[in-house]
Amino acid sequence: MNAARPMSSPLRLSVLDQSPIASGSSGADALANTIDLACLAEALGYHRYWVAEHHGAPMLAGPSPEALIGPIATLTSGLRVGSGGVMLPHYSPLKVAESFSLLSGLFPGRIDLALGRAAGTDPLTTLALQRDRRQAAPDDFRDQLDELLAYIENRMPAQHPFARLAATLPGLPHAPEPWLLGSSEQSARWAAELGLPYAFADFINPRGAPIAARYRTAFSGSHRRSSPYQAVGVSVLCADSADEAEFLASSVRMAMTLLRRGELIAVPAPETAVHFLAQQGRDSLVPGARRRMVLGDPPSVRRELERIAGEYGAQELIVVTITHDHAMRRRSYELLAGAFDLVPRSAVELVLASNA
């Protein structure tokens, strides 16, 4: 196991919201819940709030992080707000740079631009998202990433045909903080080479600690960062008891079981999910059979999350929680905040932050 995070450096706690759609509700309900949860995270003292990008699925209502970030940042003042992430292969680097420059101009010092390489959807929807459908889009993520960073940092080579465009970004002189997301070794190599903060999706690949270690070892100091910064995204469900957490988590387990079969559904009620899983055999009932979920009461969840953070050498945990009942999702983040002794943001602190 990798060396644990130094105790003198407190572990930051943040939120990744995938805007889950519960069965019997609508996408609009899910988006309203995202706004509600962001305001709660602000009050509880979470560090940052990221919204995800997924397309063409009945379970998740967040295809456009840049559209959600503005309303969330407007209704909060102490949180950093950003994408978790923008799936860059779908877009032109200039368009992404312009959108996040605009957000940075409106909310200086608070906007994160975390970038991913995955499609965030199935192949058919990926094709539907393409402007040119005559052939598959090229796998040129690193070129896209370099161009995007050159725009937002105004470091485009003078001889580049797009050089003048960096000076036209609407939010200047403000800019978002770029991050790289990943669940594989390639993303870690690029983050290290470019001197970027790196967020590893443990909830997709729970075997990422060696990859995170290579990121830290290979990190090249840059104008962006002098030292590596590692966050780890973890699937968490915290409840008043371990049994309750297991019961509530059955909703995600059912949805993921069906997703692996190519069947897409909204987040089912736990009562429905428990019955479904009981018919599926042992693999569907084993916690973390394919993906890791941290479940339990507050003390046990804290212990496991600190262990995972130590395993990754991470300075920050970015927690994703999905439940059928939004009240239970709120409760999970409340219990987690209490378990980690987060300092609530008082009304005075929020006013001071908004006037800073």
Q: Which domains does the chain have, with CATH numbers?
A: 13-355 (3.20.20.30)
pLDDT reported for residue 5: 38
pLDDT reported for residue 266: 97
Q: What is the mean pLDDT of residues 173-179?
A: 98
Q: What is the pTM of this model?
A: 0.91
Q: What is the mean pLDDT of residues 326-334?
A: 98
Whether 221 shows a pLDDT value over 90: the answer reads no
Is residue 105 within 8 Å of residue 174, measured between CB atoms?
yes
pLDDT reported for residue 222: 86
Whether 349 shows a pLDDT value over 80: the answer reads no
pLDDT reported for residue 330: 98
Q: What is the mean pLDDT of residues 199-222?
A: 95
The pLDDT tens digits of the residues spanning 116-147 come to 998 778 888 888 888 887 887 778 899 999 99
Q: Range with the lowest mean pLDDT among 76-90, 99-113, 271-285, 335-349? A: 271-285
Retrieve residue 81's tokens.
Answer: 């707000």
Is residue 119 within 8 Å of residue 86, measured between CB atoms?
no
pLDDT reported for residue 121: 82
